[in-house]
Chains A and B, each alone.
Chain A
Amino acid sequence: MANQASIDWSGVNGRGGQLSANSPLDQGGHQQSVIRQVSIIGGKGRDGLHDAIDRLDLNMGDVVSVVGPTGSGKTTLINDMELFADGDTPTGRRILINGETPPEVFRDDPSRNPIALITQHTSFLSDLPVDVFLHTHAGIRRSSSREADELVRQTLDFANQLTGEPISLSSSMTELSGGQTRSLLIADATIICDTPIVLLDEVENAGINRSRALELLRGYKKIFIFVTHDPRIALLSDYRIILRDGRIADVLKTDARERALAPTVARFDDVLSDIRDRLRQGLRIENFDFGDVA
């Protein structure tokens, strides 16, 4: 994977490798096509120390991990982004869109909230059939019914690549399994939602194909932020934001060595998943073949 992190320490807008502009959504001429970059202007943590960055530019197409222990300020960072902080939150951080302070309407209009959010607690409450549900969501985008049909088709196709159990359009939302639900949540937030940023907060243990998910997400011109403890996701990200004591302590670009290590970590992870599956099926796991991993 030849992705370059586009970390900009100085404020000069450097642009990294992958700006994959092939998302079908880009032709719609709506929000994402105008927002090219979201920047964080550093503030300070609870201890009064400054963020380790003066400015961090998140460009469309970036896959970013946010890591740090509980209470380290991950939620606060998300709060700053959701609010388009302008030096008026406890951290004093500022959020810029395309290098400029966003207009007041961005802060006042919740439909301009830049973040689509999926957490480990997120689920579908609706009992509508999948088809009707997705059309209801696509419908509020006021696209034509032909466009809505296309969005729904793409969403389902995306979701089905993440889950092992195909989702049928006629099944009820509440009948979906955990893995199907998680896959559809991600697909819907990526394809039908109008937000430039999709935040996935600790969704790792969700029965989805994570490597495939990251591969697919890179095809969409959005910023994907994973709040994660999962080494596999962290190493497949372009860079990771490290939080400590409420401040951004560091930003680490995934380097060549880490990228080279990622497949091994993924195999470890697969081995563990396999063990998990066997335990679930009531099998014994003695004489397990760890292959070249151990």
Chain B
Amino acid sequence: MKLAICAGTATTGKSALLHHVIPRLQRRGWSVAFLKIDVQYADEDERFARDFSIPTRKVYSGDLCPDHCNVMVLGDAVQWAEKSGADILLVETAGLCLRCAPYVDRGLGIVVVEATSGMNLPRKIGPILSLADIAVVTKIDRVSQAEREVFRARIMEAAPQVRIREVNALHGIGVDPIADAIARQPDIDAELTLRGNPPVGTCTICVGKKTIGWQSHFGVVRALENQTFYRGE
């Protein structure tokens, strides 16, 4: 199975982008499953299930950082998506502090940033941009050509190896190459590993344990099925 993780702060256009990506993948013959990770509210699972007849799930991270939540539930989610018969699992997650990055090895990492967030944004955010494979810039019709070009130049300066795609996620302009990149992605391995080092902290993820799956962690953990529970001494 292929995996793509789409990260970015609220209202940047992640869901609008994926709403255009999913039918393009379906037209190319792929079966897609969708997981949404958000803090306290999301309805994309219902919308995507209705619009595209695909298996969807959502998880609320609540007190947990959404990226931590992603590490916890992603193992379960991959199994769920495989059981549902999907070829591709799309995960949408809100990166809150921008210090973590939810991307895993062999999964495609997509960060969605909006051109309207100011020309300095690429200089302000860290691994969520620099560890991504593709930076998708949305709302390009809202800003002057000057700001669009400076924004682009500053992404290239902050993350030279990241591919940039500028899209109009509302109308689906420029989306095809993103669907192509997902379709070209190799299958994931049995064991998934987080791509970057998480920041210093106190839970097992915070102290740097990168193995995917709640089974490998202690403290407040979360499974896809169960809500928060405590595991450990």
> In the assembly, what is the distance between CA of A55 and CA of B176, in Å?
23
**For residue B174, which residues in chain A have a CB less than 8 angstroms away from its CB?**
79, 82-83
**For residue B148, which residues in chain A have a CB less than 8 angstroms away from its CB?**
117
Q: Which of B137, B142, B148, B171 has the most CB of A within 10 A?
A: B148
Whether a CB of chain B sits under 8 angstroms from the CB of A123 is: yes
B149 to chain A, nearest CB (A): 6
**Do B145 and A185 touch across chains, with their CB atoms under 8 A apart?**
yes
Q: Mark B162-201, 1 if CB is under 8 A from A, else 0.
A: 0111100001111011000000000000000000000000
CB nearest to A133 among chain B residues: B146
Q: What is the total number of residues of chain B having a CB less than 8 Å from a CB of chain A?
A: 27
A46 to chain B, nearest CB (A): 14
**Do A122 and B150 touch across chains, with their CB atoms under 8 A apart?**
no
Q: Which of A78, A126, A133 has the most CB of B within 10 A?
A: A126
Whether a CB of chain B sits under 8 angstroms from the CB of A75 is: yes
Using known A-B contacts A75-B171, A83-B174, A89-B176, determine if residue A140 contacts B153 with beta carbons closer than 8 Å.
yes
CB nearest to A88 among chain B residues: B176
> In the assembly, what is the distance between CA of A136 and CA of B150, in Å?
8
Q: Total A-B residue pairs with C-beta atoms closer than 8 Å?
A: 79
> In the assembly, what is the distance between CA of A83 and CA of B175, in Å?
9
**For residue B149, which residues in chain A have a CB less than 8 angstroms away from its CB?**
111, 137, 140, 193
**For residue A9, which residues in chain B have a CB less than 8 angstroms away from its CB?**
none
**Do A123 and B143 touch across chains, with their CB atoms under 8 A apart?**
yes
B163 to chain A, nearest CB (A): 7
CB nearest to A173 among chain B residues: B144
Seen from chain B, the residues whose Cβ lies within 8 Å of a Cβ on chain A are 116, 118-119, 137, 140-150, 152-153, 163-166, 171-174, 176-177
CB-CB nearest 3 A-B residue pairs: A137-B146, A140-B153, A189-B145
Seen from chain A, the residues whose Cβ lies within 8 Å of a Cβ on chain B are 75, 78-79, 82-83, 88-89, 107-108, 110-111, 113, 116-119, 121-126, 133-134, 136-137, 140, 185, 188-189, 192-193, 195, 201
10 additional contacts, CB 8 Å, given A82-B173, A122-B144? A83-B177, A110-B164, A117-B140, A121-B141, A123-B143, A125-B144, A137-B146, A140-B150, A185-B145, A189-B145
| A–B pairs, 27, beta carbons within 8 Å | A75-B171, A75-B173, A83-B174, A107-B177, A110-B137, A110-B165, A110-B166, A111-B149, A111-B152, A116-B145, A118-B144, A119-B141, A121-B142, A122-B142, A123-B143, A123-B144, A125-B142, A125-B143, A125-B144, A134-B146, A136-B146, A136-B150, A140-B150, A140-B153, A185-B145, A189-B144, A189-B145
